[in-house]
């Protein structure tokens, strides 16, 4: 039973890393949003499984928040937003897909090496969970760097936060206050982002961040 | 005890005021209320010094945090005074509508609340949540003018700040994982007082990696190079009272978090020494910002880069460690907060008078506006580190303690200080002296906050009260 519990936890956390890779090469916004929803569902499953094997019922709340909010509410509203903004066409990444995938692999290798080496003493479950979580975090960061579209960056940021929640859930008995706050801050962050996107549309009729980059206070005559 | 605890007031006053101000449509009333609330918070923070509460699972007030809290509430109060005048002008000229001002005041108090929670937290999770909250509140204020530039600045700040805060959370989780086998599951693994007493038994490898994440994460909010990119934009494009608070307070709050974790790491003999990392980042920030100062054409960006420079010096001093360098770091931090916010008070009025932030369009201020011009001169002279002002003394202590322990490190330090000094003096001559340049709009000026800060900085350069010296020395020895 113990072996199976570990295997399922690894399967779920490993799939999260895999889906992070899937997100990296999605070059159209609607499909990117779909893959993000899948990412959130996997996170919810992973957190729920942690709740079961750690016997921590509070974690189910975190799982439910991930499922309802990140897998459902956010993707739906993002999809409506991009349709309203008329940007559900192709998006282009700053760096080529192949190069990004290679960088992603390097990051995963890095986080495996770092995490497995330093946590040699720790609980094996937390240990590999942590390595996967750091991979998800770094892949989210990579995605934020390689996207120039604001929506793409936001999704990158949310997948990064998914990695954080995975790490928090894997840490045995970590007080719930943190998980809720993480979930809650995602909510706030999303509201902020919503406001920003709204304002960006008002001002620029575009959410292409390169349009913003042209406006630097100092470079104006 | 039936009397309301000062700690409760320090936390509740900003929170309740934020709620009240969010509903208060009249900007004159809300400005006055903002000042009043900040004054009450300052007074209760003063009571904390006299009668510090016992630490519990969530809150802790010790000698280190009291310095930050008093500084925080003091600058929060003086900035609210300046803000009242500043906002009045913004409304008259139509840059802001009353609705936005309502929002601005609520966010101002919410930010103060977040900072006070972060500084009094005895729980690494709570501290993280509080710092995240201040980030969100300040992002919203930075974007308040809704111009191209302010939106870009807010977005950049939001993205970089969030990534930093995510790294910090990962580091926090790692600290918990390191603590969990020793102190047990649940809350104790996140409490500072527990962590500090048991840290020697923690797994050193985990602590090392945790500290790197925490330094990068909170270091983003301190504005350390190469994670500083948000800082000049956020300072330049937001309302000037917020520039003053960002430089004077928010950077300090993130620094406080870094310091706490540094002390934690240093208490574990098997973990790496946190000093060299901080020394490197501090020196890089100092050198980078010092050279960048020369190319600034925007007055608020100029002083934002000067903040990066000073945070670099402070982080360097704390990284060096030891009683003398820590003492210098604490003093430098206090003096920098006071001086830089005084400069931003002056700059806020100057930009309102001239209607621009371009340095080339501002000139001869001592002739046209003597009070403001000489205030700016005094502030810049202080921030550049000329004697006999307070920053000269702290920088002198940093340099001399470095010379006695690691002379090679003192060379880049002194070069950086001199380069920054040259840049600031070069810009100051154009701004303050020579022929008056630019338009002149009539502006009400509040001199009190600016000169109050400068008076303290001036007095501290000449005479530090023995009580303060003893207090700072005690904290410096605590920081190790």
Q: pLDDT tens for residues B303-349?
A: 999 999 999 999 999 999 889 999 999 999 999 999 999 999 999 99
Spatial distance between the Cα atoms of B121 and B107, rounded to a whole number of angstroms: 21
Q: Which residues in B lie closer than 8 A to residue A173 (C-beta atoms)?
A: 180, 185-186, 189
Strands (E) across B169-260 are located at none
Query: CB–CB of B439/B355 below 8 Å?
Result: yes
Residue A111: CB atoms within 10 A of its CB come to 22
Query: CB–CB of A194/A74 below 8 Å?
Result: no
Surface of A (96-115) touching B: CB under 8 A: 114-115
B114-157 pLDDT tens trace: 999 999 999 888 898 889 888 888 988 888 887 878 877 888 88
Q: What is the pLDDT along chain A (221 residues), one digit of tens a residue?
A: 578 888 888 899 999 999 999 998 888 888 888 999 999 999 999 989 988 888 888 788 888 888 887 888 788 877 877 777 666 665 666 677 888 899 999 999 999 888 888 877 667 777 788 889 999 999 999 988 888 777 787 788 888 888 888 888 888 777 754 555 565 556 556 555 655 555 455 444 445 555 555 444 444 43
Distances (CA, A) of A124 to A2, A5, A134, B69: 12, 12, 16, 42
User: Who contacts A48 (Cβ-Cβ below 8 Å, separation ≥6)?
Assistant: A59, A60, A63
Nearest CA of chain A to the CA of B98: how many Å?
19
Residue B449 token pair: 């906050």
Residue B155 token pair: 């977005």
Residue B451 is predicted with a pLDDT of 94
Residue A95 is predicted with a pLDDT of 73
Residue A221 is predicted with a pLDDT of 37
Q: How many percent of chain B have pLDDT more than 70?
A: 99
Do the chains contact at A218 and B180, CB–CB below 8 Å?
A: no
Do the chains contact at B170 and A137, CB–CB below 8 Å?
A: yes
Q: How far is CA A188 from the centre of its chain?
A: 16
> Is B164 within 8 Å of chain A by CB?
no
Do the chains contact at A157 and B189, CB–CB below 8 Å?
A: no
Nearest CA of chain A to the CA of B216: how many Å?
14
Pick the residue with more confidence: A77 or B285?
B285
Q: What average pLDDT does the segment B62-68 reach?
A: 90
Measured CA angle at B138 (ends B132, B144), to 5 deg? 145
Spatial distance between the Cα atoms of A71 and A42, rounded to a whole number of angstroms: 9
Spatial distance between the Cα atoms of B397 and B328, rounded to a whole number of angstroms: 6
Spatial distance between the Cα atoms of B352 and B439, rounded to a whole number of angstroms: 10
For chain A, what is the domain count? 1
Query: CB–CB of A168/A181 below 8 Å?
Result: no
Nearest to B83 by CA among B26, B33, B9: B33
Do the chains contact at A185 and B132, CB–CB below 8 Å?
A: yes
> Is B140 within 8 Å of chain A by CB?
yes
| Domain ranges, ordered by start, for chain B | 273-480
Spatial distance between the Cα atoms of B455 and A80, rounded to a whole number of angstroms: 56
The segment with the largest mean pLDDT, out of B94-98, B145-149, B392-396, is B392-396
> Is A55 within 8 Å of chain B by CB?
no
> Coil, strand or helix: which one is A57?
coil
Spatial distance between the Cα atoms of A128 and A50, rounded to a whole number of angstroms: 13
Do the chains contact at A144 and B237, CB–CB below 8 Å?
A: no
Least reliable range by pLDDT among A41-50, B85-94, B157-166, B251-260: B157-166
Domain region containing A23: 2-214
Distances (CA, A) of A183 to A21, A158, A202, B5, B137: 23, 11, 29, 31, 18
Do the chains contact at A218 and B297, CB–CB below 8 Å?
A: yes
Q: How far is CA B19 from the centre of its chain?
A: 24
Query: CB–CB of B198/B267 below 8 Å?
Result: no
Measured CA angle at B92 (ends B91, B98), to 5 deg? 25
Residue from the list B129, B151, B181 with its beta carbon closest to the beta carbon of A199:
B151
Q: Which residues in B lie closer than 8 A to residue A126 (C-beta atoms)?
A: 177
Nearest CA of chain B to the CA of A111: how many Å?
11
> Is B201 within 8 Å of chain A by CB?
no
Q: Which residues in A lie closer than 8 A to residue B301 (C-beta atoms)?
A: 217-218
Residue B36 token pair: 């009043």
Q: Which residues in B lie closer than 8 A to residue A145 (C-beta atoms)?
A: none
Does A221 map to a domain? no
Q: How far is CA B93 from the centre of its chain?
A: 29
Chains A, B: CB pairs < 8 Å: 131
Spatial distance between the Cα atoms of B286 and B416, rounded to a whole number of angstroms: 6
Spatial distance between the Cα atoms of B132 and B202, rounded to a whole number of angstroms: 27
Residue B423 token pair: 């840049």
Does A219 map to a domain? no
Which residue out of A218, A219, A220, A221 would a mutagenesis test of the B interface target, given it has the greatest number of B Cβ atoms within 10 Å?
A: A218
| Nearest residue in chain B measured CA to CA from A121 | B203
Residue A204 is predicted with a pLDDT of 46
Phi and psi based region of residue B460 (left: phi greater than 0; alpha: psi -120 to 50; beta: remaining): alpha
User: Who contacts B196 (Cβ-Cβ below 8 Å, separation ≥6)?
Assistant: B263, B264, B267
């Amino acid at each position: 039973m113990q072996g199976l519990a570990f295997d399922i936890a690894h399967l779920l956390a490993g799939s999260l890393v895999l889906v992070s890779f899937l997100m990296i090469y999605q070059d159209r916004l609607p499909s990117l949003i779909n893959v993000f929803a899948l990412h959130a569902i996997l996170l919810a499953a992973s957190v729920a499984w942690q709740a079961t094997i750690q016997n921590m019922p509070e974690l189910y709340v975190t799982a439910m928040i991930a499922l309802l909010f990140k897998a459902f509410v956010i993707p739906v509203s993002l999809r409506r937003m991009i349709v309203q903004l008329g940007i559900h066409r192709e998006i282009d990444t700053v760096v080529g897909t192949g190069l990004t995938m290679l960088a992603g692999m390097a990051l995963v290798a890095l986080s495996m090496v770092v995490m497995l080496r330093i946590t040699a003493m720790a609980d094996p479950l937390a240990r590999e969970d942590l390595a996967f979580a750091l991979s998800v975090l770094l892949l989210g960061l990579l995605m934020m760097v390689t996207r120039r579209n604001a929506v793409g960056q936001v999704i990158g940021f949310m997948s990064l936060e998914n990695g954080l929640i995975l790490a928090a859930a894997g840490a045995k008995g970590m007080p719930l206050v943190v998980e809720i706050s993480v979930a809650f801050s995602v909510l706030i962050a999303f509201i902020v982002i919503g406001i920003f996107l709204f304002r960006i549309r008002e001002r620029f009729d575009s959410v292409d961040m390169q349009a913003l980059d042209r406006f630097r206070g100092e470079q104006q005559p | 005890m039936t009397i309301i605890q000062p700690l409760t007031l320090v936390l509740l006053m900003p929170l309740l005021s934020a709620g009240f101000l969010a509903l208060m449509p009249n900007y004159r009333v809300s400005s006055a209320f903002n000042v009043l609330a900040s004054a009450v918070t300052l007074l209760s923070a003063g009571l904390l010094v006299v009668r510090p509460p016992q630490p519990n699972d969530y809150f802790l007030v010790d000698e280190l945090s009291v310095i930050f809290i008093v500084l925080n509430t003091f600058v929060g109060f003086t900035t609210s005074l300046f803000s009242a005048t500043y906002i009045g002008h913004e409304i008259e000229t139509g840059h802001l509508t009353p609705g936005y001002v309502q929002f601005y005041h609520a966010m101002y108090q919410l930010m103060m609340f977040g900072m006070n929670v972060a500084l009094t937290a005895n729980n690494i999770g709570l501290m993280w949540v509080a710092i995240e909250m201040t980030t969100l509140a300040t992002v919203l204020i930075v974007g308040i003018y809704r111009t191209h530039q302010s939106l870009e600045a807010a977005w950049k700040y939001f993205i970089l700040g969030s990534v930093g805060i995510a790294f910090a959370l990962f580091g926090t989780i790692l600290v918990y994982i390191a603590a969990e086998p020793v102190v047990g599951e649940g809350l104790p693994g996140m409490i500072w007082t527990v962590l500090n007493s048991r840290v020697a038994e923690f797994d050193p490898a985990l602590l090392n990696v945790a500290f790197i994440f925490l330094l990068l994460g909170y270091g983003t909010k301190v504005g350390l190079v190469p994670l500083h990119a948000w800082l000049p934009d956020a300072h330049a494009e937001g309302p000037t009272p917020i520039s003053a608070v960002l430089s004077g307070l928010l950077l300090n709050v993130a620094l406080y978090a870094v310091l706490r974790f540094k002390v934690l790491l240093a208490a574990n003999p098997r973990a790496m020494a946190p000093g060299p990392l901080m020394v490197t980042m501090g020196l890089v920030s100092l050198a980078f910002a010092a050279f960048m100062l020369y190319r600034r054409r925007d007055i608020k960006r100029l002083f934002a880069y000067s903040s990066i420079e000073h945070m670099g010096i402070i982080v360097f001093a704390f990284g060096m460690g030891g009683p003398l360098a820590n003492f210098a770091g604490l003093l430098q931090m206090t003096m920098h907060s006071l001086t830089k916010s005084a400069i931003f008070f002056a700059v806020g009025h100057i930009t309102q008078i001239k209607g621009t932030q371009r340095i080339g369009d501002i000139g001869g201020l001592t002739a046209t506006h003597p009070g403001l011009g000489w205030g700016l001169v005094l502030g810049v002279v202080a921030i550049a580190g000329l004697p006999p002002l307070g920053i000269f003394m702290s920088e002198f202590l940093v340099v001399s303690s470095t010379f006695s322990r690691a002379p090679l490190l003192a060379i880049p330090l002194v070069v950086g200080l001199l380069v920054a000094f040259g840049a600031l003096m070069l810009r100051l001559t154009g701004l303050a002296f020579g022929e008056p340049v630019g338009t002149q709009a009539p502006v009400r000026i509040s001199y009190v906050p600016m000169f109050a800060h400068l008076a303290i900085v001036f007095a501290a350069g000449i005479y530090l009260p023995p009580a303060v010296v003893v207090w700072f020395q005690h904290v410096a020895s605590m920081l190790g």
